[in-house]
Structure 1
Amino acid sequence: MDTMSEARLQTQQRSSRNGRETSLWSSGFGMKLEAVTPFLGKYRPFVGRCCQTCTPKSWESLFHRSIMDLGFCNVILVKEENTRFRGWLVRRLCYFLWSLEQHIPLCQDAPQKIMESTGVQNIISGRAPGGAGEGQGPSLVKKEVQRILGHIQTPPRPFLLRLFSWALLRFLNCLFLNVQLHKGQMKMVHKAAQAGSPLVLLSTHKSLLDGILLPFVLLSQGLGVLRVAWDPRIFSPILRALLKKLGGLFLPPEANLSPDSSEGFLARAVFHEALAPLGLWTGALAALRSLRGWGRGRRVCAHVHLAQPFSLQEYTINARSCWDSRQTLEQLLQPIVLGQCTVVPDTEKEQEWTPVTGPLLALKEEDQLLVRRLSRHILNASVASSAVMSTAIMATLLLFRHRKLLGEFSWLTEETLLRGFDVGFSGQLRCLVQHTLSLLRAHVALLRVHQGDLLVVPRPGPGLVHLARLSAELLPAFLSEAVGACAVRGLLAGRVPPEGPWELQGIELLSQNDLYRQILLLLHLLPRDLLLLQPCQSSYCYCQEVLDRLIQCGLLVAEETPGSWPACDTRRQRLSAELLWKPSGDFTDSDSDNFEEAEGRYFRLSQQSRCPDFFLFLCRLLSPLLKAFAQAATFLRQGQLPDTESGYVEQLFQHLQATAQEEGFFECADPNLAISAVWTFRDLGVLQQMPSPAGPMLHLSPTFASWDNQEKLEQFIQQFICG
């Protein structure tokens, strides 16, 4: 859910020649004002498409180009036309009548169906773990099933559900001016629901209001009610009893036990069968508890994004068929870091380490890998579907390009739209900047200077940390260019000093093979969660995409060396020697896979006036994470090991805070960056996790016990940092 300001100034719009900017003239003063629109040309970007490689049928069948033209609707706008009745009294009671007409399916025999299900019957009969065959009689197991089922849910109350939906509709109208939903995105969800399979929705939880908006949107659009499972520990007994009557599902305490435990197996089996009955509004009251004071300010607008659905069955089949051999980060990168090897292995990086807890413990290793790879796809779709907000753009400008906020705010918004990302704001440029600064007033200082100009200065300490977190929301839009810029910086690190003039850096020739190598090294170093690299996407294809982006944005210019084949000539150089003897169906020598043909291709940094600032801007987008990694390498000499993972993360976070106080770079003082650094160093073989009586403990590996290797690790990371 994204929030944007509502500008209510009376203006006249006049489209400019390029169709991307609008000039607004104030009726009173005749002053020319620029407007920011959430689209380029006629249409705004349509975001959130599913993976074409893993789910090609869903990608094609659940989308049609006509849905891009359907526009938006206000889901909290309920009028007389939304009910079956007409008249002046209906217009006054339309909210209540609308809530009474909502279809709420009942499932009175849900407990009996759960008891008669195959999984539960196998446990009762002793044919499965945790059943009567393990020392318990069928009657005792049946009573235990009923107890667990009573803990999970109670029969919902339809009248209470309708009454609550009416109250929620009135509350949302008091809180929001409107809640926008793209009709095309909703049409895709409707088409997926018509297939008959259960529809699973995953929320990014950008706001506390997600628990209110998402169930309401589904109900108002005819998709029925939302089934939500919650941890009972976060609710009081009274609130838990009320939510059960509203259809809430609560995880039993035994569900988090070991998969070898009979109690855990029984609880998970009952809960799995209980997911079929009704569940509704479980997130609403939880969010309402934290909304005190929201109604005091001005009402705002909201935008709900829905990514394109895809078939989980189709993904499972295709994902398992395309698994290939991979190497760990330690195998890929450690020899290069230590200077033992210069060639990057021709293989993909294995899945990074993540803690396996809760329901994942009950899955096989192959299924755990499938779930993790699925999470990468979902993360990619959720980020692509999320609109970039004005606070993210303003925070990025304040941190990295603080010059003229009005002009650069418009420029950065247009660059974001050009890259296919949606923005969640529109209006007059000056009003948008003023409103955004008012939202950030706790983290910036406004100073008036001569001639009425306003100087905006970020507040040090927590203010800079907050701005860094906001600016991270803009990173996905410029991620490919940022990776490429840092890779170029790493390639020039041994040739030109970072503080050297741009003209001196532009003299250096950059071979395409060297660029590929540096990009690959940085790709392996950075977490895949940050890169949003889908599991089905090859790293080498991503390298080519990064290089193409650098050329498209004008940072790199092709340089034809004497005797080399012209870059614009697409003819085959060794056609008779390499291709004539091959069968017609052999595509192993395609241009996208053969990097040997790029040996004679060279590039230079462009000498255009805007390139130095843009290059520095792109490098600084990744600087918080890379500097946190570099400081983590320095901290290896001071850290107290062995220690638990959480303990060492806390040590590193305190070190990042202390370094920020000394150097003034507070963007690194983030606990999430400390966690990312520890996990990356664990994959790289810098830290080793070993069992102990007190639990798993982190140790410094013997390889990096020497200061020499620690220095090599720090230098390897420092080469990608600029500014």
Structure 2
Amino acid sequence: MADGLFEFVVFGGLLCWIFSDSLRAMVDVLSTRLQEIYSRWETRGLKTHQSGVTPHLQQIVNIQRNRKKEISLRNKEAVKQSLERQLFQIKEADWTPIGESQPRPFVGLSCTSCTPSSRNSLIDRSAKNASLIDVLQVESLDNHPDGILAKIFPHIAHSVTFQAFPFPYIYDTVLKNERLQEILKDVTTQALEESKVTSDESAYSAMYRRQQERAVRLLKGLRSTFSDFILRLGAWVMTKVMSRLFTSVVVHPAHIDMLKKASTTGLPLVFIPLHRSHFDYIVITYILCYNNIRSPLVAAGENLRIPVFGWLLRGLGAFFIKRKIAAVQGRRDILYRAILHTYMTECLRAGHNFEFFIEGGRTRSGKPCMPKGGLLSVFVDAYIDGTIEDALLVPVSINYEKLVDGNFVHEQMGEPKQMESFGTALKGIWNAFTSHYGIMRVDFNQPFSLRELVKSFQSKLVLEINNRSNSIGSEGKTLHTVPSSASLYGTDVVIEEHRQLVDCIARHIVYDCCRTTSIMSTNAVSFLLLNAYRNGVKLDTLVSAVDSLRQELHNMNRDMGFSGETIDVVNHALHILGPALVKRERDVESGCVMIRPITMLPNVIELSYYSNCVIPHFILEAVVATALKSLMSEGSTYVKNEKILEQAQLLCDILQFEFLFTKTCQNLENVLSETIDNFVTTEILTQEQKLLTEEEQQSMRVAAQFDNFEEENEYSHHSWEKQPPYQVNKNSERYKLYSFILVPFLDVYSITARNLHRFVSQLIPERDFIKVVLNDIKVQLDAKIIHCGESVSVDTIRNAMKLFERWNVLECHTKDKIKVYYLKENYDNESSIESVWNRIKQFR
């Protein structure tokens, strides 16, 4: 009762605040209207007395004219002074993006290899280049209502009038599900066996009732309570909130048109965004409801089920799931997984759209995390077992000029995560309202058919499996899954082919999202400062570098989250980042304005968060450049193509838990070979040209035709040709930039490998080993052995430990909810550990 009264009081206070804001808005509008009427009346009065103006009135007019002249002169002087200071001071007023009406390219088309039919659907080719729209300006929407009230109160009018959709409540359907009933019986039998109670009818009935009661509690805890009223109220409130926090929330109009067409297909839409902020939960719902598209059910972490805010999120479509499904009495919690799986399946059958975050949690480093396939496997299961005919998957990229949730510096430095609570939520809201966060950019990828993607990957995986087993027959194998509402991918044992299928789809989705994430101004400036101008740079040089980066990304068919004159873009980014991350100062000797990144701990970790967003766009270039640097460290000035490929593939293997280097349907060696060819085009690599006779040239042309055929069949690129060695242009600015990008990551991997000797003949908990590695990194930073403060990163250490597990160097077991590591038998000695370290340190 007390909790309900508390929520009622808080909710009532929220409504009072909202409606008081509306009353203030009404007063402002009425005041403005009265002033306009008075101005028109005054003007008409002056015009009617032009033939005979009274001296007193003429004197007033002259005074007003003189005052305007004085103001004009003062303004001109102020502009002059501002222009003189613009190279040194950043203007404090909010920056308005210049040239927002410029057409932006359409990014995010689906894969030509995996989903060719989807790629040719839902797209209006004539609208691929269009100006971005700010979704906070509802007056610009096509479905904006007309009328006087709509013009005065546009957000209220639109919140009241946007289309209502039915949201079926499937609570009873889940509890009556036949598969769930079977699971309840199995769980009851298992519980009786563990309790060693005589299995008579009364004991079975009592245990069955307890399991039923638990199923009801679990379902009530995770279910969504979608409310049309809360959705409309939330849309209005979020307009007010986001207008206060952001300059604009922009989206490509062709993306909206594409989603509108997809919503008419009758298939469920599954939105799969990368996860950066808590705002991600509601911004997609906000955009969809304002464009009359059915809002999705959103999978949210159970940590967000807090008073008031959890209730509001439920009303907006959130259902709460556990991030880690803990064991019950030493066994897997089969009943919880069954409830979750059945709930999602029944929601799909009822026609709900969905939204979930394939990375699991928010990225702590700024770059995308490796995908987790648990929830995705539910949708794959639902298609394969015939629950749904098909679904449209929609990868989504969301990026911010400045992160609203604050930074993750303390977590990266080894401190435990601070759990969400009502108090921390209020504190976060207060801090948010006292800052400004620039632009939010949302990019929806082209929806593609789950059925088409599954069939595409099935055929490729079946071919690969059959080739491995040398048993290719006329019938072949068919991928399938055991229909069971008791298992979610990643928590129970499933068929290996199904696991590979889900992994392939998940990695493809994350790769697509990485490549379509728009680069914000803060990302571009941070990336250049940390990787190219770590010791400082002149302002005009930085502006030129940002120009070059924009052009390079444009050539790669990537989009920017900003537009306008580059000098304004750079100044704006420096303003958003603030003096804690970047410093502007005038060089005493040259008199030029210098921009320097703050590279001391902990500030540099936050700066690297913004920089890391750009790395996936240049990861292949970084890999090849780092491979070249490792080969040249041996003293040779020439490198052979096959050695570059060998080193680059080894480096990709080392960083397999940090980055996705290719789409699932691509061959890594082919892609690396194309990158080497691009290095030749950009003159990072040069090669002596050999003069050939006509017969040799003809042979080369014939061989090239065979090479093209081999490349289509995923054979190695240029495998037929013995190429002369390359010479590396060490003075190339691009080479210097690319070769530095991976330095912080390789420092962490090398130091982690060097500390593996601590595991010899003993077990160490994960958290203790991470502390040891962090301390070693800090010691080497103080001793100037390594130079990148952003190497202090818990996430990177964990990824290195995952790599050593994959290499069968480390073994991990969980004991009392604590991860414990120890060395495999073959590596439980100093010499074997040394070989692992040598494999990594060659790239440092």
**TM-score, structure 1 normalization:** 0.77
Q: Could you say which residue in structure 1 is the equivalent of 2:343?
A: 271
TM-aligned CA deviation for residue 154 of structure 1: 6.8
- TM-fit CA distance, 1:125: 8.2
Deviation string 1:464-506 (CA, Å, 9 cap, x unpaired) is 333333322221222222111112223323233xxxxxxxx3x
CA contact (8 A) 1:124 1:131 kept: no
Q: Is the 8 A contact 2:160 2:232 kept in 1?
A: yes
1:516 aligns with 2:645: yes
Deviations 1:636-671 (A, max 9, x none): 345674213343233222322222222243131111
Call closer, same or farther: CA 1:568–1:419 in 2, change over 3 Å. Answer: farther
Partner SS, residue 293 of structure 1: helix
CA RMSD of aligned residues (A): 4.4
1:361 aligned counterpart, secondary structure: coil
Pick from 455, 472, 475: which aligns with 2:594? 455
> Which residue matches 1:471?
611
Equivalent position to 1:432, from 556, 562, 569:
569
TM-aligned CA deviation for residue 552 of structure 1: 2.6
Q: Report the more deviating stretch, 375-384 or 451-460.
A: 451-460
Asked whether the 8 Å contact 1:36–1:429 carries over to 2, the reply is: no
Rounded Cα–Cα distance in structure 2 between residues aligned with 1:611 and 1:319: 44
Q: Which amino acid aligns with 2:797?
A: A
Aligned pair 1:488/2:628, yes or no?
yes
1:167-566 alignment to 2 at 5 Å?
Answer: 167-251=237-321, 257=327, 261=333, 263-273=335-345, 275-276=347-348, 289=426, 290-297=428-435, 300-323=438-461, 360-362=490-492, 364-366=494-496, 367-402=498-533, 403=537, 404-438=541-575, 439-450=577-588, 452-459=591-598, 460-496=600-636, 505=637, 508=638, 510-527=639-656, 529-561=658-690
Q: Which residue of 1 aligns with 2:724?
A: 602
Which among 722, 732, 741 is matched to residue 612 of structure 1? 732
Aligned-residue offset at 1:54: 2.3
Corresponding letter in the other structure for 2:803: T
Q: Could you tell me whether the CA contact under 8 Å between 1:215 and 1:280 is conserved in 2?
A: no
Written as runs of structure 1 = structure 2, the 5 A alignment for 1:91-170 is 91-107=151-167, 110-120=170-180, 122=182, 135-136=204-205, 145-153=215-223, 155-170=225-240
Superposed CA deviations along residues 535-593 of structure 1, whole A, max 9, x for unmatched, are: 22212222222222212322122323577999976735679xx98xxxxxx95697962
> How much has 1:442 moved relative to structure 2?
0.5
**One-letter amino acid of the counterpart of residue 684, structure 1:** W
Bigger-Rg structure (1/2): 2
Cα 1:144/1:565, change in 2 over 3 Å: farther
Q: CA separation of 1:224/1:363 partners in 2, compared to 1, >3 Å: closer, same or farther?
A: farther
| C-alpha contact 2:304 2:310 (8 A) present in aligned 1 | no
Aligned counterparts of 2:554 and 2:288: Cα–Cα separation in 1: 28
Alpha carbons of structure 1 residues 309 and 136: separation in structure 2 relative to 1, 3 Å: farther
Deviation string, structure 1 residues 96-124 (Cα, Å, up to 9, x no partner): 22111122334465334434544445557
Q: CA deviation at 1:199?
A: 1.0
> Do 2:103 and 2:131's aligned partners in 1 also have CA atoms closer than 8 Å?
no
Partner of 1:334: none
What is residue 469 of structure 2 aligned with on the other side?
none
- More contact order relative to length (CA 8 Å, sep ≥ 6): 1
Q: Which consecutive residues of structure 1, in runs of 5 or more, have no partner in the other structure?
A: 1-25, 327-356, 497-504, 580-585
Distance 1:595 1:269 in 2: 44
Give the conservation status (yes or no) of the 8 Å contact 2:159–2:233: yes
What TM-score comes out, normalization by structure 2 length?
0.67
Q: Judging changes above 3 Å, is the alpha-carbon distance between structure 1 residues 678 and 570 closer, same or farther for their aligned structure 2 residues?
A: farther
| Structure 1 residue corresponding to 2:768, chosen from 640, 643, 647 | 647
SS in 2 for 1:230: strand
Q: What is the rounded CA distance, in whole Å, between the counterparts of 1:81 and 1:44 in structure 2?
A: 18
Residue of structure 2 equivalent to 1:660: 781
Q: CA deviation at 1:695?
A: 6.8
TM superposition shift of 1:83: 6.4
> Which range moves more in the overlay, 636-645 or 175-184?
636-645
Deviation at 1:201, TM superposition (A): 1.0
The CA distance in 2 between the partners of 1:49 and 1:185, in whole Å, is 10
**Partners of 2:270 and 2:353 within 8 A in 1:** no
8 Å Cα contact 1:388-1:474 kept in structure 2: yes
- Partner residue, 1:699: 822
Aligned with residue 626 of structure 1, among 719, 735, 746: 746
Q: Deviations over 1:258-280 (max 9, x none)?
A: 78555335433553356357799
CA distance in 2, matches of 1:639, 1:198: 49
Give CA-to-partner distance per residue, 1:330-375, whole Å, 9 cap, x none: xxxxxxxxxxxxxxxxxxxxxxxxxxx9762146142333332222
SS of the equivalent of 2:509 reads: helix
Identify the range of structure 1 (201-210 vs 362-371) with the bigger mean alpha-carbon deviation.
362-371
Displacement after TM superposition at 1:411 (Å): 2.0
Cα distance in 2 for residues equivalent to 1:231 and 1:622: 32
Q: How many residues align?
A: 644
| CA gap 1:683/1:147 in 2 versus in 1, 3 angstroms | closer
Shift of 1:200: 1.1
Q: Is the 8 A contact 2:673 2:717 kept in 1?
A: no
- Give the fraction of aligned pairs with identical amino acids, expressed as a percent: 20
Cα distance in 1 between the residues matched to 2:222 and 2:665: 38
In the TM superposition, residue 619 of structure 1 has moved relative to its aligned partner by: 0.6
Cα distance in 1 between the residues matched to 2:444 and 2:574: 29
- Structure 1 distance, partners of 2:582, 2:270, is 41
Q: 1:269 to 1:556 in 2, by over 3 A?
A: closer
The residue aligned with 1:16 is: none
**Do 2:543 and 2:570's aligned partners in 1 also have CA atoms closer than 8 Å?**
yes
CA distance in 2, matches of 1:629, 1:313: 39
Q: 1:596 to 1:380 in 2, by over 3 A?
A: closer
**Could you report, residue by residue, the CA deviation over 1:397-447 in whole angstroms, capped at 9, with x for unpaired residues?**
222322332322222232222222212122333332222223141023333
Shift in alpha-carbon separation, 1:86–1:74, aligned structure 2, 3 A: same
How far apart are the structure 2 equivalents of 1:239 and 1:73?
29
Of 50, 54, 65, the residue aligned with 2:110 is 50
| Structure 2 stretches lacking a partner, 5+ long | 1-77, 88-94, 193-200, 358-403, 405-420, 466-486
